Amino acid sequence: MEKIGLSYKKIQLGEVEMFKNPTPRQCDQLRLGLLASGLELIEDKTSILIERIKNIITDMVHYTSEIPRIKTSNYICERINYDYTYLANIFSKGTGMTIEHFIISHKIERAKELIVDNDLTLTEISFLLNYSSVAHLSRQFKQVTGLTVSCFKKAPTKHRIPLENINDWNTKIN
């Protein structure tokens, strides 16, 4: 950004707040620079909102010590200041999956990570991920992965999905 003369107020996961709008030439240069780094520039408001929802969920599940004990719909709405029905509709249209399925997919990936680390019991993992019980976590784990937690633990290779690919993963959750 500095190379092309763009100054910014702050940068955080997936977002840049700029002092002023870039020129069309700067946008093209930025787009090319990001592509060279394996990233993309998102400019339309719907895509930006979807990315914000994804970032909030990713942060909530993977980068906090414990998932907040409030409804995730309320948590997302508090962070973005939009009506949940509106957010849910644009998210589903834009990604092909519901916010709930996206959250479940991330929670199961986080559970896999914690199981592989082997530092916590399944009870502790279910509490940390805000499940109502170990049985609830176990049921969703099997629905998403096709394996019981025990089979996953015993498997010689533990199949994990990179966080950036979770939204591409075709989960089948009832």
Q: Is the pTM of this model over 0.75?
A: no
Per-residue model confidence as pLDDT tens digits over 104-140: 999 999 999 999 988 899 999 999 999 999 999 999 9
Q: Which residues are CB-neighbours of 150 under 8 A, at least 6 positions away?
A: none
Q: Assess whether pLDDT exceeds 70 at residue 13.
A: no
Model confidence band, residue 99 (pLDDT cutoffs 50, 70, 90): very high
Per the structure, the complete domain to which residue 7 belongs is given by 1-41
Q: Assess whether pLDDT exceeds 90 at residue 76.
A: yes
- 141: CATH: 1.10.10
C-alpha distances (whole Å) from 165 to each of 48, 160, 162 are 18, 10, 5
Identify whether 51 is part of a domain.
no
Cα 174 to Cα 6: distance, rounded to the nearest angstrom: 47
Identify whether 63 is part of a domain.
no
Q: Assess whether pLDDT exceeds 70 at residue 15.
A: yes
Q: Assess whether pLDDT exceeds 90 at residue 92.
A: yes
Long-range contacts of 159-168 (CB under 8 A, 24+ apart): 160/109, 160/112, 160/113, 160/116, 161/105, 161/109, 163/58, 163/62, 163/106, 163/109, 166/102, 166/105, 166/106, 166/109, 167/54, 167/95, 167/97, 167/102, 167/105
Q: Assess whether pLDDT exceeds 90 at residue 148.
A: yes
Identify whether 147 is part of a domain.
yes
Q: Structural domain tally of the chain?
A: 2
Range name among 18-22, 39-43, 164-168, 169-173 with the lowest pLDDT average: 169-173
Identify whether 65 is part of a domain.
no
Nearest to 84 by CA among 97, 69, 100: 100
Model confidence band, residue 157 (pLDDT cutoffs 50, 70, 90): confident
Identify whether 139 is part of a domain.
yes
Per-residue model confidence as pLDDT tens digits over 25-75: 888 888 888 888 887 777 778 888 998 999 999 999 998 877 888 889 999
Identify whether 106 is part of a domain.
yes
Identify whether 88 is part of a domain.
no
